[in-house]
Amino acid sequence: MEYINGGVCAAKGFRAAGIYAGVKEGGDPSKKDLALILSDAECTAAAMYTTNRVKAAPIYVTMAHLEDECAWGVIANSGNANACAPNSHENAELMCEAAAKATGRSARDFVVCSTGVIGPELNVQAIVDAAPALSEALRADAEGSTAAAEAIMTTDTVKKEVAVQVELGGKVVTLGGIAKGSGMIHPNMGTMLCFLTSDCAISPDMLSAVLHEVVPRTFNRVTVDGDTSTNDTCAILCNGLAGNPLIEWKDSSYAAFKAALTQVLTHLSRAMAADGEGASRLITCTVHGSRSEEAAERLSKAIVASSLVKAAMFGADANWGRVLCAMGYSKAPFRPEHVDIKFASVAGELPVCEKGAQIPFDEDKAKEILSQNEVIIDVNVNEGDNYATCWGCDLTYDYVKINGDYRT
Amino acid sequence: MEYINGGVCAAKGFRAAGIYAGVKEGGDPSKKDLALILSDAECTAAAMYTTNRVKAAPIYVTMAHLEDECAWGVIANSGNANACAPNSHENAELMCEAAAKATGRSARDFVVCSTGVIGPELNVQAIVDAAPALSEALRADAEGSTAAAEAIMTTDTVKKEVAVQVELGGKVVTLGGIAKGSGMIHPNMGTMLCFLTSDCAISPDMLSAVLHEVVPRTFNRVTVDGDTSTNDTCAILCNGLAGNPLIEWKDSSYAAFKAALTQVLTHLSRAMAADGEGASRLITCTVHGSRSEEAAERLSKAIVASSLVKAAMFGADANWGRVLCAMGYSKAPFRPEHVDIKFASVAGELPVCEKGAQIPFDEDKAKEILSQNEVIIDVNVNEGDNYATCWGCDLTYDYVKINGDYRT
């Protein structure tokens, strides 16, 4: 398996575009806010959505459009979440109709997503007016993907794109994706927008199955702030143009495609955590030696979600007691007196706690290790063979700044 | 029922003291770090502890000492949590022995608590050395209570003391308390240290019952940062010197004592939330119109615990969408399309959402309302008659600053 360029345009038969439509009043014309992804052939499609009881209208519209497990494209805007807003359902449908009209397809062929502030009515006229230019701007190369990736960004500081290739049944299959993250990010599906495209030939059942196997171990293990958004959507479109034998069973090709999807979503998960709102460093926490993967995941999530651990990481402070404290309230089974904790990074590795109690360590070395861009919290509960890794980021002044006045 | 001065010394037969013992290496001699509360008569005692699986040694020692439901006093230190630390159990026992020796009682007569950093070994010798002076400093007046309240503070910026009087069976009964809060505060018992004293005559069963009835509706409804500490303890000592008829049943005297306890713990809960680490304002969130009190509590807790809501409150930003979003992931039942949301404070009241959607409102008025020291988030889910109130605080630069480098 290897990484290649091109994001959502890497797979055969996909084009993408991103332009400025003026979704947000007084928006910055240099910030694209409308994205389109279109396939040259009909796609098998699957999606996963936020578990939040309050779901934005585009989610319900997308659910309806994917009832037939088919799609041709995605239309998405930033600048407004179209959630809990007047005429939200109608406006989500109008977005799909605008995309359909501009591309010669039907409204039901589209996945639709919105991201931005909750509450205000969506300026759908700006989107309708921009749709023809958006369709004109479609490109099959890396620039198309990048434009779409930029158009869905909100408080993200870097675009998130990735693509990989694998060989399935003698054919090269490509899988690529773009995503946006930043705030309102917490394990429990979606936790962001992510659009994936592939030229793989795969049945609707197998596509849905593989998405539901991989998302819980990737996106659902990212936390930025514990707030699960109203709009989270992860959608995958596969047009079959790679010409591989159709994946209909959980065979070796399924396993290879699953590995590719895992690699793509792990990459995007790490990118989302590293670019969490205000983040200055990525925190990777692995809990191993657990009796079950579920327990390991729960412990690891509690650690990366703890405000006190996150603040300590911001300060490069080896306050491991907060790690053990977070494990304690996670409700997962473990014995505190068996726990070993290490901090690690490119600057080295440092055990700080053995059998649940502090061991002497060099504070200067700890500071050096914890000052790197990626910090690893490595916990062994010494009770079994299962493990899980979750990703998060530190809690910084900038998180408070960004969210203290997001609407204005 | 009326508020009076005196805190834990308000009730008959209680003395208290707080002095500097030098628990923390390089500590500030002007910051008291060792507290003692002592009754002139044997007390019926009850306590509630953190639900964290990782419990500090003093909690296990206190549990053992309260097996007989009797106590004479409390010894507590700040500057070190005596949790996950070498010799923690032995050191907690040594603290009780030191208190016993200095006061002529037995070690098992004492509740013991510690608060501070997790991990390092407790400097118990400093406490043993200071115990005689601590006992010498015991006073039966308000100054004694204040000294004890100051000695248990960590990052608290104000001491927390309160006392009330009620008449039970023709006798005046007094109930007072001191508490510390600030960080690692989250609903689920304790969430802090709180010591309560009363001259009420009450049976051990009734004392335990009333504590378990009131704490879930007061302290367990406070959140500062979602981190449930390893050391939380709420202990109550009643020496019976008021001479009221012994409370042995859930009669009208029980109800009156429960009302007094509710008033005292509500006062301390609000004080803890308002003085949350880095907080610039108290957030009081009431969810009413709910099908059950449990659902209302869960919704209200999710709102005051949301990092995004807390950051918006810091910025005095009327971002009500985050309130609805937090409700959505709380896992409590409600219909988003029935929800009304108002913001209120001494500056007025402002509806911002009706039936789950935004209504027009004056942004300047919203800013004025949200800029006050106490802000009320008032939510009506319009489905029933139950309600619950939770307390929290905003998320500020100072929270990040305080916790970025707490140990040093």
Mutate to test the interface with B, among A53, A303, A358 (most CBs of B within 10 A): A53
Q: Looking at beta carbons, which residues of chain A come within 8 Å of B231?
A: none
| B400/A401 touch (CB, cutoff 8 Å), yes or no | no
Do residues B242 and B167 lie in contact, with contact meaning Cβ atoms separated by under 8 Å? no
Q: Which of residues 370-399 of B touch A (CB under 8 A)?
A: 395-397, 399
- Does residue B405 register a pLDDT over 90? no
Tokens 């290739």 correspond to: A165
pLDDT of chain A along its 408 residues, tens only?
Answer: 889 999 999 999 999 999 999 999 888 999 999 999 999 999 999 998 887 888 889 999 999 999 999 999 999 999 999 988 899 999 999 999 999 999 999 999 999 999 988 888 999 999 999 999 999 999 999 999 999 999 998 878 889 899 999 999 899 999 999 988 765 555 443 347 889 999 999 999 999 999 999 998 888 888 766 666 677 888 999 999 999 999 999 999 999 999 999 999 999 988 888 887 778 899 999 999 999 999 999 999 999 988 889 989 999 999 998 899 889 888 899 999 999 999 999 999 999 999 998 899 999 999 999 999 999 999 999 999 999 999 998 888 877 787 776 555
* Per-residue confidence (pLDDT) for residue B209, from 0 to 100: 95
B338: contact with A, CB 8 A cutoff = no
Distance, CA of A213 to CA of A194 (rounded, Å) = 16
Q: How far, in Å, CA of A68 to CA of A75, rounded? A: 18
Distance of alpha carbon B203 from the chain centroid:
24
| B233 three-class SS | strand
Residues 110-169 of A with CB under 8 A from B: 117-121
Question: Cα–Cα–Cα angle for A311, A304, B120, nearest 5°?
Answer: 60
B277 token code pair: 């680490």
Q: Is the dihedral of CA A251, A257, A259, A261 positive or negative?
A: negative
Residue B199, judged by CB atoms within 10 A of its CB (0-12, 13-18, 19+), counts as buried
CB contact under 8 A, A406 and B312: yes
The pLDDT of residue A38: 97
Reported pTM: 0.80
Are B396 and A400 inside 8 Å of each other by CB?
A: yes
Rg of chain A (C-alpha set) = 22
In angstroms, the Cα distances linking A368 to A105, A303, B223, B318, B408 are 56, 21, 33, 41, 16
- At residue B407, does pLDDT exceed 60? no
> Is B402 a residue whose pLDDT tops 80?
no
pLDDT of residue A190: 34
Distance from CA of B191 to the nearest CA of A (A): 12
pLDDT tens for B248-287 read: 999 999 999 999 999 999 999 888 888 877 788 999 999 9
- Using CB atoms and an 8 Å cut-off, which of residues 235-294 of chain B contact chain A? none
User: Across the interface, which of A54, A228, A408 has its CB nearest the CB of B336?
Assistant: A54
Q: Which residue of A has its CA nearest to B332?
A: A53
Beta strand segments in A220-297, E: 233-238, 282-290
Decide if A183 touches B, using CB distance below 8 A. yes
Split at pLDDT 50, 70, 90, the class of B50 is confident
Residue B191 is predicted with a pLDDT of: 43
Report the range of poorest mean pLDDT among A277-291, A388-402, B296-310, B345-359.
A388-402
- Give yes or no for B361 touching A (CB within 8 A): no
> Are A6 and A139 in contact, with CB atoms under 8 Å apart?
no
Do A388 and A297 meet the contact criterion of CB atoms below 8 Å apart? yes
Over residues B222-233, the pLDDT tens digits come to 876 666 677 788
Residue B244's SS3 state is coil
Under DSSP, the state recorded for A236 is E
Tens of pLDDT along B83-131? 888 999 999 999 999 999 999 999 999 999 999 888 889 999 999 999 9
Asked about A191 being catalytic, the answer comes back as yes
What chain A residue is nearest to B367 in terms of C-alpha separation? A405
Q: What are phi and psi of B284, to 5 degrees?
A: -110, 120
Map B345-376 to HEC letters: ECCEEEEEEECCEECCCCHHHHHHHHCCCEEE
Query: ipTM of this model?
Result: 0.73
CA distance A303 to A215: 20
Give the distance from residue B281's alpha carbon to the nearest chain A alpha carbon, in angstroms: 13
| Residues written for chain B | 408
Evaluate whether B382 touches B289 at the Cβ level (below 8 Å): yes
Q: Tell me the domains of chain B and their CATH numbers.
A: 2-274 (3.60.70.12), 282-404 (3.10.20.340)
User: In terms of C-beta distances under 8 Å and separation of at least 24 residues, what long-range contacts does B2-5 make, across chains too?
Assistant: B2/B164, B2/B165, B3/B162, B3/B163, B3/B164, B4/B163, B4/B164, B4/B165, B4/B174, B5/B142, B5/B163
What pLDDT is stored for residue A29 in this prediction?
92
Say whether B328 and A230 touch across the interface (CB within 8 A): yes
Contacts of A277 in chain B (CB under 8 A): none
Is residue B347 pLDDT above 50, yes or no? yes
Tell me if chain A has a CB within 8 Å of the CB of B408.
Answer: yes
Q: Is A308 in contact with B228 (Cβ distance < 8 A)?
A: no
Name every residue whose Cβ is closer than 8 Å to that of residue B387 and which is 6 or more positions away in sequence. Answer: B286, B287, B288, B289, B290, B293, B296
